[in-house]
Structure 1
Amino acid sequence: MNDNERIIMDFIAAWSRLDADEIVSYFADDGVYHNMPSRPVQGREQIRAFVAGFLKPWTSTQLDMLNIISRGDLVIAERLDRTTAGERKLDLPCCGVFEMTDGKTKAWRDYFDMPTYTRAMTG
């Protein structure tokens, strides 16, 4: 496992602590977080606000790494995100594409099915 893969593994593990500040610390100052079904969010403060809003109803989450591969500053991580928000539970298959620079995430594009997430969390 190379350094970028290790950083992404640590980043994925950080989500289980539901701490937006810790999660955002993995991003470059001008980093971009793009949940592909939605608009991209750029800059640490904007990403922190977005992540905090996302985490607010969650009571627990565990992101299980299924596969991780990298080449240079590109890391691709396939996951199963297991999230609980009160009585609602969701197992969401995801694939994240990370562009790294100097040990930080410059861009993260996360691919998943938004209707699956929405049905489980609001339906």
Structure 2
Amino acid sequence: MTELTDLDQNASTVVREFLNALEIQAADEASELLTDDIAWLNNSLPVVRGAKRVRQVFDLAAKTHVGFAVQIHHIASSDNVVLTERTDILRFGPVRVAFWVCGTFELRDGKIAVWHDYFSYSNFARGIAVGLFQAVVPNKRLAVS
């Protein structure tokens, strides 16, 4: 088993801090962890380029009261690249949409330069269906995987 270097631990820490800042809607703190020229990619969605535009997405989520939570299942890093396997949870009022995400974060000078999330649209649709069901019938819990 290979030991984590300080660089790997620092890269993982930056990503954890970033995701934690998003959870508590600390847009200033999250934005400070991004390079000015960040590229945020979500499979088959338009690329969001630049810290200013990414920040606009954070601000829009806050204005529209969209909540975010994350459960990190696995995290690994090497040479300023951090891989995450996680469940992201988007909250729209009483509706919680939980779905699987695999994320790649590329860091430069201790900041996130590329944020690329991969997810399954069918898993996302299932998360919507489960979230809607649980909002309507709150005492019934369906397992989300």
User: Which of the five TM-score ranges fits, normalised by the shorter chain?
Assistant: 0.7 to 0.9
Query: Over alpha carbons, which structure has the higher Rg?
Result: 2
State how 1:101-112 maps to structure 2 within 5 Å.
101-112=108-119
Q: Unpaired runs of 5+ in structure 2?
A: 133-145
- Two-structure CA RMSD over aligned residues (Å): 2.3
Q: 1:76: Cα distance to partner?
A: 0.3
For 2:128, which of 116, 120, 123 is the aligned residue? Answer: 120
Whether contact under 8 Å (2:88, 2:100) holds in the other structure is yes
Q: 1:18: Cα distance to partner?
A: 1.7
Answering whether residue 42 of structure 2 is matched by residue 35 of structure 1, we say yes
Question: What SS does structure 1 have at the residue aligned with 2:46?
Answer: coil
How many angstroms apart in 2 are the aligned matches of 1:72 and 1:99? 9
Q: 1:83: Cα distance to partner?
A: 2.5
Whether contact under 8 Å (2:96, 2:128) holds in the other structure is yes
C-alpha distance after superposition, 1:59-114 (max 9, x if no partner) = 53221110001111111011111222102111111111011011100101011134
> Would the alpha carbon gap of residues 117 and 14 (structure 1) be closer, same or farther in structure 2, given more than 3 Å must change?
farther
> Would the alpha carbon gap of residues 62 and 113 (structure 1) be closer, same or farther in structure 2, given more than 3 Å must change?
same
Residue identity matched to 1:92: F
Partner of 2:91: 84
> Would the alpha carbon gap of residues 56 and 118 (structure 1) be closer, same or farther in structure 2, given more than 3 Å must change?
farther
* Number of equivalent positions: 122
> Would the alpha carbon gap of residues 53 and 91 (structure 1) be closer, same or farther in structure 2, given more than 3 Å must change?
same
> Would the alpha carbon gap of residues 80 and 55 (structure 1) be closer, same or farther in structure 2, given more than 3 Å must change?
farther
Whether contact under 8 Å (1:94, 1:112) holds in the other structure is yes
Q: What fraction of aligned residue pairs are identical, expressed as a percent?
A: 25
Question: What SS does structure 2 have at the residue aligned with 1:49?
Answer: helix
Partner of 2:80: 73
Higher strand residue share: 1
Bigger relative CO (Cα 8 Å, ≥ 6 apart):
1
